[in-house]
Structure 1
Amino acid sequence: MSLPTLAELPAILLPYASRAEQSFRDAVAALGDDHGLSAWTPQRWADFARVCAASDFVIEQSVRDPLMLLELVAWGELDRGFAPGELCSQIAGAVQQAETEDELGRVLRRQRTRQQVRIIWRDLTRQADLVQTCRDLSDMADACIDQAYQWLYQRHCAQFGTPTGRRSGEAQHMVILGMGKLGAVELNLSSDIDLIFAYPEGGETIGVKRSLDNQEFFIRLGQKLIKALDPMTVDGFVFRVDMRLRPYGSAGALVLSFNALEQYYQDQGRDWERYAMIKARVVAGDQVAGAQLLDLLRPFVYRRYLDFSAIEALRTMKQLIQQEVRRKGMADNIKLGSGGIREVEFIAQAFQLIHGGRDLSLQQRPLLNVLGTLEGQGYLPAAVITELRNGYEFLRYTEHAIQAIADRQTQMLPDSPEDQARIAFMLGFSDWAAFHERLMYWRGRVDWHFRQVIADPDEEEGEESELVVGGEWLPLWEESQDEDAACRQLTEGGFTDAPKALKALAGLRGSPQLRAMQRLGRERLDAFIPRLLAQAVEHANPDLVLERVLPLVEAVARRSAYLVLLTENPDALRRLLTLCAASPWIAEQITRFPLLLDELLNEGRLFKPPLAPELAAELRERLTRIPEDDLEQQMEALRHFKLAHRLRVAASEIAGSLPLMKVSDYLTWLAEAILEQVLALAWRQTVARHGSPQRLDGTLCDPGFIIVGYGKVGGIELGHGSDLDLVFIHDGDPQAETDGAKPIDGAQFFTRLGQRIIHLLTTQTNSGQLYEVDMRLRPSGASGLLVSSLGAFDRYQQNEAWTWEHQALIRARVLVGSQDVGHAFEQVRANVLRRERDLAKLRQEVSEMRAKMRDNLGTKATTAGRGANAFEATAVFDLKQDAGGIVDIEFMVQYAALAWSAQHPSLLRYTDNIRILEGLEQVGLMPAADAHLLREVYKAYRSAAHRQALQNEAGTVAGDQFADERRQVMRIWQSLGLS
């Protein structure tokens, strides 16, 4: 197909051109100088009128930054194609001027806008053909990604050290693979970019005191890179970044080593991932290592034999496509609809997968080149290739025209007369009718060829499916009835918003995961969905059930064994729907980690979590089955264990079989069991590398180390999403060297041990992280040593700690580690907290700290808490931070313990607020009624906070809730002399 010429500007678009010219002239005039505008030729103004009449984006950017367009004209960049490397040099020069990450983001966005205006201008004035436009867009993406990566890499190395290979000893760089249209150098005017991040080999960073694992280094770097490119700011965006093509999709690690990638694709790679890898290209990072990676993955994509095994998968995909394009509303999508862009791509990729292993000429990325090879090698007749090529180019020009209007990622034909006129004008037609007639011709030809290539000669029609459970819903799922009938059936089943439910099912049907399913998986899905609908209508709110469960179905589509589990175990499906209906948090957890579905099989186990000794024993047994040197599997086992038991606790809480206090008990026991094993793992690894440290008396530490829990874990009050406030303490000799092959002094050893513990707890794997860890309560906070000796901890608490740190110490207790060090810590804690205090000064300091917290963390509607009515009853109530809330009760308990434990040491026996309040009542320091009230209110607040967490809602409630309770709490606050 020849390059389409622009038609004459239609009357409906003349006002657009006129307004654009006037707005631009006004914007230039505001600069105080015409900057060469007076030298514009009539042809330049004609081009300006045509481009701006077609593209709102160009005129918006030109009026916003007129100098940009004036410079593009003055420097001749609208009138010529760039030389190789020229575009990259421009972006690199701009990026080098950035001093901060914020500046980097601004520079990239402004460069993108500048180049986008230039590319659209050249496309709409027909100075660039389809291939040139796609190449410019892809070159711009390559340059933005690579320059941002290089900028961030240097600064990350300065901060975290240089990532170094464990085997090679060489510095490591990330390899960034571009997939899809970016990989094929076929980006459209408003494409997102599909990326996969990898690095050559494991190891850790060097050159800094605290090294990072290579994977952790590159995960942080990858997150920063996405942040530099993806978010929408006042300067726009660079590219929308999609990372879902990586192994395990959104649930997978952001960055994997070459070995991990190779293993994944060898063991678990799916057919759709083979399709995706056809277009993979190294777009940024280490090009040499990237070439090696693609060589590693090539056997996965291209089989060395004639791959007839792909044919069944191709036919399954054909069925999925046909089902999708029959959906209402998809007919006008020129990419996904019948006869659309994707069908041309599918034809080419089908031949590549089947024959590419033996015919190396098919191992290429750009679609037009592949079509040429199919013709040259005789796979398809020349006439067919000509029609496919012309149809594809017409569709791509149409796609560019649609996206040039507003720089939006869409392939839907517009329905407004103005935008329809724009499309026709850009494609060279006098009106919409003429354009649409031609478009439908090409779509018809593409669809015909698509059917010829993918047809199944043995396909039989008219066979009736067997009657199955939920079979009455099968016609709705298979779209064998019209929309009105489907909506009626949903409404009669109890759905409140039948069109929305139908749309959700259609969205599932058209999702990428389902389009990529193999036939067996699709058959399993078709058996499951009717059962799901049949059970959903048994619930009081089937709309909510469907809304929360369909994302899970989409998430497990590639692992259809989970669908079989639910199909064959209706009780498990019933429990799933009940839990998801009760809690969006549970629904999200199971969707993110589908392995949790196994927990639904045993009702007795699900609703009866084990006690602390059983928890610890079960985890120890699991880990003993894993080889000691298999750290990755150990980390996964720890995470699986936490996820499973946390689900059991949440399920029991929802079922009402586990009250609030027991929920916190179980979650705390779970954390302690995990910390016990994490400490053991970290200790073994650190000792294996450096040997054992010594105590001051010369004996070996084993381990001479404790993990102290503060805050919620210290007070046995963990919630479902709580982090861990930890402090590490040892009693080793900081000067004495370890007895290993690579000896280090004791201080270094325990620091590395602490770093290892944090790494094991916080590293993101396929199953998430174990816990967020907060170490800021250690001596001197974030500026202090990661691990303190017991003596240093004692001296700090006695001589330097603030009152608020002593308040925190009230809730501190030893979680795991050496019993001897633990006993010594308890003595230090008691000595610090039991000393006599100036009560007036104590009241003042506690009151001032609480006032600061309310001001900084409470809602604006609450005051500093003075007076019995110091809040607005109509405003929202932050359960934790507002006046009369959780923290007020905690501060009262802490004040009382600090004030009176010298006379009543029993107040230090426990670290949880409930039992300290009981102690205050028993020794007569608080009236029984007040102590009882505070305990009940505290539990009520925390129960409400738990409910909010399970509903994925913030810890706030309506102001008319707990109004009386708040007033009583504030009354008691004042009765203690606090202000």
Structure 2
Amino acid sequence: MSTALNVQTDELPALLAEGLDARWQSFLQRCSEPQAQWYQEFTQSEARPKLLLAIAASPIFLDYCQRFPQALIDLQQQGLLDAPLSAGELTEQLAAECDACSNADELAKTLRQFRYRHWLRLVWRDLNRLCDMVATTAELSALADVCVQQALAFLHRELCREWGEPQSADGRSQQLSVIAMGKLGAGELNLSSDIDLIFSYPEAGSTAGGPRSVDNQEFFIRLGQRLIKALDARTADGFVFRVDMRLRPYGQSGPLVVSFDAMEEYYQDQGRDWERYALIKARCIAGDEAANQRLMASLRPFTYRRYLDFSAIESLRDMKAMIQREVARRSLHNNIKLGAGGIREIEFIAQCFQLIRGGQEISLQQRPLRIILDELRDMELLPAPVVDELQAANVFLRNAEHAIQAWRDEQTQQLPDAPAPQAALALSMGYDSWEAFTAALAEHRQRVDEHFANIIAAPEEEGSTDRAAIQRWEVLLNDPDADSLTEELQAAGYNDAAEVARRLLALLTGAGVQRMQGSARERLDDFLPLLLEQVQEAEDSGRAFLRLIPLIEAVLRRTAYLVLLMENPAALGRLVRLCDASPWVSRQLAAHPVLLDELLDASSLYSVPDKDGLRSELRQRLLRIPEDDLEAQMEALRYFRLAHVLRVAASEITGSLPLMKVSDYLTFIAETVMEFVVDIAWQNLVEKHGTPCGDDPRRHFVILAYGKMGGIELGYGSDLDLVFVHDVPAGVVSDGERPLDGTMFYTRLGQRIIHILTAQTRLGQLYEVDMRLRPSGNSGLLVSSFSAFRDYQRGQAWTWEHQALVRARVVAGDPVLAEKFTELRADVLGSERDLAKLREDVLSMRDKMRQHLLPSGGEKNHEFDIKQGLGGIVDIEFMVQYAVLAWSHQHPPLHYHTDNIRILESLQQEGLIPEADARALIEAYIAFRSQSHRASLQEQKGQLSGEALAEERGAVRRIWQQIFDEQ
């Protein structure tokens, strides 16, 4: 029997036919003889064109046939290959197969074979256009629903045998509610999508009727873990669906499962606008139906306001701007989901109306995109031609998405760049060539992008340009010489015109500019006249232009940034103002031009969100990144930190952020980053080694911040003084495939955290980290057990280490362990001490610091060092630390806080220092720190003239003498 396909030239494009015969013969050799006979006969049947299209446009289709050679045979013989299947029919099939399973391993095998069998059927139907896009996505969603439901039912029964049945306090049975989000929630799942889930359960209680009793949350956390493993884990049979749990309350740092009440409380008290946006598509797919209806009803008031919610417009505008910046920053042109004119923009258009009007218009509270678009047309909220174009584009883009994913069953929306998958995509979409397909794609995307641009468009900024002046600069720069440039710059009011002319000529004649060609050089030629004209508005035009030259040099190969500034004159004006005010800002922008995106929106540039807002924004960024892409997560963390520190600097420069709030926000940024770094490091380690905590949802780990971060006083360039502590019991071993004992697990966790913080990437380090304040310093363990940390603080720590403890606090990690640390800190700081010995130790340490950092023992070059100088910042800090250690045993409020100002206020309130002295120290401290911030932005050392701040320094020295009784 011949095993050749003998593909004819009129059956497939030559590029796709090439090598297909060899692959087919290799496949048949791996089949049994009856199977090979069936497939050969199938190639000669009327199904031949469909088979050729399937295996040519989807190489993975043939791979899966090879893995499960009987699957296609069974589907065809049962009449299912060309047929649609309802959710009920899928449920009936899978339920019967799961009932035959005796354990979780058999369940996993059954689920995977079921998934691949129906994946083959759906790809067959989709590529051959035996069904439309809506039917494909609906069946894929039904397939996911059924797999979740049947796996959950089997695992629930299995866990009940081990732990008993979960019940409420009054004895009613409980089930796990599974909420599908995103594409699955809307019933619009694609061929290779992961599934976004949230788990919840109705009420607190405990299990009954089993060998042991546990509380309901512990039961459902274990059940949720088993469900994820049953669906997500890769085995010899593949996987069922990748599961993403990051949309749950508190994200990765939150418990895997929460009660209905806890979920409702979270969204009402802490839910953010983007979470409203996400909940639009939420749908319960498993659990008790009545309970599920109750849960969704409780969440509806958060998702849909009862009134026309125009307050959402600004946050939607921010989301839209974030989408546009991401497209520009990540060069997503070839991504048909995330790129301009892609699927995400269509979804955003619909969901804007849902958030704003869904509370009053119940018909807008539906999930499927196509239905919402029709509703918007019927309600005359969008013109009918616009809806028609969006609907057509959505069908086209989703079909293209399926064809892209059918190639290798990978979750991607990126257009292929190799000839073979390009040919397959064009063929699947019904086009004779790649060029014809991309032309049609471009038309759809252009229409979508135009409609997207018109949704909640920001008010246009007015601006005027002196065209004649621009032309003068253009003529001058066309053939520049030093004398002419200097003369024109002087006439335009530039300071230091000769130096500006020299640097400008050096730029234009330098190798970087000389290598520029075509549109890149044209962009530079268009940009420089605009810049020269704009810089005239600066306070010191020469200084501003010189500070901008490194930025121009940095973007010579990325002139899209010049276009960004030319297209947004207001952003160019902000750039000039900030660089004129601060060399630190100009250096940051030159080092990281991607931050120019932040100049586009004045409302965000000159305002900083509170800590909840910071968490929400960073969480949104990280949700768009696969959990296993550590490099992308690290870049997202770095961009977030750089962008928000830039916002703080811009707000300080413009005066919209009070000086004493600067450190607060810089600290909030670091704390937010730290929380997510712990999440990422934890998830990364647990994936490899399992959790050392078993069923305990606690992580038993905290990060302590000392120094400036502990005292909520971070500056622009501050490093982080950190200590890691865990309290997992001795002898514990993690429960993964590669188990680690508890000590090694937490050591690895600490190492991973430090790596994420300090690794040099394209955007630099997150933070410099100093771990020397841990017990025994550099010779001590990287991560201390709580008991060892406690014993060290009580029995071995030096006085200076207790001084450091004054400014120590938990900034990330387990709340229970954080409370234990707070109690220990209070106990240590509140211990009664020998005051004479304490005074001697503090004065000795201060003298050592001054001798080391100010070698003359005082001031250098008749200058005042803001930090270390006599009467400076450190003197105030030492007085505060001495006071806390000396008097906390009688005055506990002294150790409640870690920042110096509130401790000084406590000293006054406790009657330990006069109000006038407390006020003098606070005002001096504020003055010193303000000068320190200004010095950072000007990239200057923290030194002032010997006469500066004389009154404040005198007050500090006077009070120092009073406290330490120095003569």
TM-score over 0.5 for the pair:
yes
For 2:236, the aligned partner's letter is V
SS at match of 1:282: strand
Q: How does 1:745-756 map to 2 (within 5 A)?
A: none
Q: 2:124 maps to what in 1? A: 121
Residues 565 and 404 (structure 1 numbering): CA distance in 2 closer, same or farther, change over 3 Å?
farther
The counterpart of 1:601, out of the listed 699, 706, 709, is: 709
Query: Quick check: 1:366 aligned with 2:368?
Result: yes
Residues 547 and 449 (structure 1 numbering): CA distance in 2 closer, same or farther, change over 3 Å?
closer
Q: Is the 8 A contact 1:279 1:365 kept in 2?
A: yes
1:408 and 1:523 mapped to 2: Cα distance?
37
Q: 2:417 maps to what in 1? A: 415
1:227 and 1:470 mapped to 2: Cα distance?
58
SS at match of 2:84: coil
Q: 2:108 maps to what in 1? A: 105
Q: 1:56 maps to what in 2? A: 59
Residues 303 and 271 (structure 1 numbering): CA distance in 2 closer, same or farther, change over 3 Å?
same
Residues 29 and 481 (structure 1 numbering): CA distance in 2 closer, same or farther, change over 3 Å?
same
Q: Is the 8 A contact 2:722 2:771 kept in 1?
A: no
Q: How does 1:551-630 map to 2 (within 5 A)?
A: 551=637, 588=681, 600-602=708-710
For 1:441, the aligned partner's letter is E
Q: 1:13 maps to what in 2? A: 16
Deviation at residue 124 of structure 1 after TM alignment: 0.8
1:268 and 1:559 mapped to 2: Cα distance?
24
Query: Quick check: 1:260 aligned with 2:262?
Result: yes
The counterpart of 1:381, out of the listed 380, 383, 397, is: 383
The counterpart of 1:767, out of the listed 788, 792, 814, is: 814
Q: How does 1:493-508 map to 2 (within 5 A)?
A: none
Q: Is the 8 A contact 2:87 2:142 kept in 1?
A: no
Q: Is the 8 A contact 2:703 2:722 kept in 1?
A: no
Residues 425 and 467 (structure 1 numbering): CA distance in 2 closer, same or farther, change over 3 Å?
farther
Q: Is the 8 A contact 2:87 2:143 kept in 1?
A: no
Q: 1:195 maps to what in 2? A: 197
Deviation at residue 339 of structure 1 after TM alignment: 0.4
1:476 and 1:590 mapped to 2: Cα distance?
40
For 1:65, the aligned partner's letter is F
Residues 666 and 338 (structure 1 numbering): CA distance in 2 closer, same or farther, change over 3 Å?
closer
The counterpart of 1:70, out of the listed 70, 73, 79, is: 73
Residues 121 and 604 (structure 1 numbering): CA distance in 2 closer, same or farther, change over 3 Å?
closer
Residues 175 and 653 (structure 1 numbering): CA distance in 2 closer, same or farther, change over 3 Å?
same
Q: How does 1:905-924 map to 2 (within 5 A)?
A: none
2:552 and 2:366 mapped to 1: Cα distance?
37
Higher relative contact order (CA 8 A, sep 6+): 1
Q: Is the 8 A contact 1:607 1:657 kept in 2?
A: no
Q: 1:395 maps to what in 2? A: 397
Deviation at residue 610 of structure 1 after TM alignment: 14
Q: Is the 8 A contact 1:375 1:385 kept in 2?
A: yes
Residues 770 and 363 (structure 1 numbering): CA distance in 2 closer, same or farther, change over 3 Å?
same
Q: 2:224 maps to what in 1? A: 222
Q: How many residues are treated as equivalent by the alignment?
A: 618
For 2:814, the aligned partner's letter is S
The counterpart of 1:455, out of the listed 450, 454, 457, is: 457
Query: Quick check: 1:405 aligned with 2:523?
Result: no
- The worse-fitting range, judged by mean Cα deviation, of 600-609 and 194-203 is 600-609
Residues 554 and 8 (structure 1 numbering): CA distance in 2 closer, same or farther, change over 3 Å?
farther
Q: 2:347 maps to what in 1? A: 345
SS at match of 1:72: helix
Q: 1:133 maps to what in 2? A: 136
1:479 and 1:339 mapped to 2: Cα distance?
32
2:62 and 2:722 mapped to 1: Cα distance?
64
In the alignment, structure 2 segments of 5+ residues that lack a partner are: 1-9, 465-533, 563-582, 619-629, 650-656, 685-698, 714-719, 728-749, 755-767, 798-811, 819-823, 825-967
Q: How does 1:513-912 map to 2 (within 5 A)?
A: 551=637, 588=681, 600-602=708-710, 653-655=771-773, 658-659=776-777, 667-669=785-787, 767=814, 770=817
For 2:386, the aligned partner's letter is V
Deviations 1:901-949 (A, max 9, x none): xxxxxxxxxxxxxxxxxxxxxxxxxxxxxxxxxxxxxxxxxxxxxxxxx
Q: 2:245 maps to what in 1? A: 243
SS at match of 1:178: strand
1:59 and 1:42 mapped to 2: Cα distance?
18
2:151 and 2:561 mapped to 1: Cα distance?
49
For 2:422, the aligned partner's letter is Q
Q: 1:144 maps to what in 2? A: 147
Q: TM-score, normalized by length of structure 2?
A: 0.55
Q: 1:860 maps to what in 2? A: none
Q: Is the 8 A contact 1:20 1:52 kept in 2?
A: no
2:119 and 2:130 mapped to 1: Cα distance?
15
In the alignment, structure 1 segments of 5+ residues that lack a partner are: 1-6, 533-543, 616-642, 674-711, 718-764, 772-814, 816-979
Percent identical across equivalent pairs? 41
Query: Quick check: 1:162 aligned with 2:172?
Result: no
Q: Is the 8 A contact 2:203 2:259 kept in 1?
A: yes
Residues 228 and 413 (structure 1 numbering): CA distance in 2 closer, same or farther, change over 3 Å?
same
SS at match of 1:454: coil
SS at match of 2:329: coil
Deviation at residue 84 of structure 1 after TM alignment: 4.3
Residues 351 and 609 (structure 1 numbering): CA distance in 2 closer, same or farther, change over 3 Å?
closer
For 2:264, the aligned partner's letter is E
2:165 and 2:64 mapped to 1: Cα distance?
40
Deviations 1:594-613 (A, max 9, x none): 996798534699979999xx
The counterpart of 1:81, out of the listed 79, 84, 90, is: 84
Q: 2:356 maps to what in 1? A: 354
Q: Is the 8 A contact 1:576 1:600 kept in 2?
A: no
1:203 and 1:368 mapped to 2: Cα distance?
42
For 1:362, the aligned partner's letter is L
Residues 666 and 413 (structure 1 numbering): CA distance in 2 closer, same or farther, change over 3 Å?
closer
Q: 1:950 maps to what in 2? A: none
Residues 329 and 148 (structure 1 numbering): CA distance in 2 closer, same or farther, change over 3 Å?
same
Q: Is the 8 A contact 2:72 2:81 kept in 1?
A: no
The counterpart of 1:284, out of the listed 278, 283, 286, is: 286
For 1:336, the aligned partner's letter is L
Deviation at residue 212 of structure 1 after TM alignment: 1.2
Deviations 1:599-634 (A, max 9, x none): 8534699979999xxx9xxxxxxxxxxxxxxxxxxx
Deviation at residue 556 of structure 1 after TM alignment: 13
Q: Is the 8 A contact 2:167 2:208 kept in 1?
A: yes
Q: What is the aligned-residue RMSD (CA, Å)?
A: 5.5
2:433 and 2:69 mapped to 1: Cα distance?
32
Q: Is the 8 A contact 2:774 2:780 kept in 1?
A: no
SS at match of 2:37: coil
Q: Is the 8 A contact 1:193 1:241 kept in 2?
A: yes
1:195 and 1:350 mapped to 2: Cα distance?
23
Q: 1:173 maps to what in 2? A: 175
Q: Is the 8 A contact 2:706 2:721 kept in 1?
A: no
Q: 1:840 maps to what in 2? A: none
Q: Is the 8 A contact 1:23 1:63 kept in 2?
A: no
Q: Is the 8 A contact 2:249 2:266 kept in 1?
A: yes
Residues 33 and 368 (structure 1 numbering): CA distance in 2 closer, same or farther, change over 3 Å?
closer
Q: Is the 8 A contact 1:36 1:74 kept in 2?
A: no
SS at match of 1:380: coil
Q: 1:440 maps to what in 2? A: 442
Deviation at residue 130 of structure 1 after TM alignment: 0.4
For 1:551, the aligned partner's letter is L
Deviations 1:87-117 (A, max 9, x none): 1221222222222222221111111111111
For 1:152, the aligned partner's letter is L
Residues 528 and 586 (structure 1 numbering): CA distance in 2 closer, same or farther, change over 3 Å?
closer
1:610 and 1:319 mapped to 2: Cα distance?
38
2:171 and 2:395 mapped to 1: Cα distance?
49
2:239 and 2:304 mapped to 1: Cα distance?
36
The counterpart of 2:25, out of the listed 9, 22, 27, is: 22
Deviation at residue 74 of structure 1 after TM alignment: 1.1
1:27 and 1:552 mapped to 2: Cα distance?
50
1:143 and 1:470 mapped to 2: Cα distance?
63
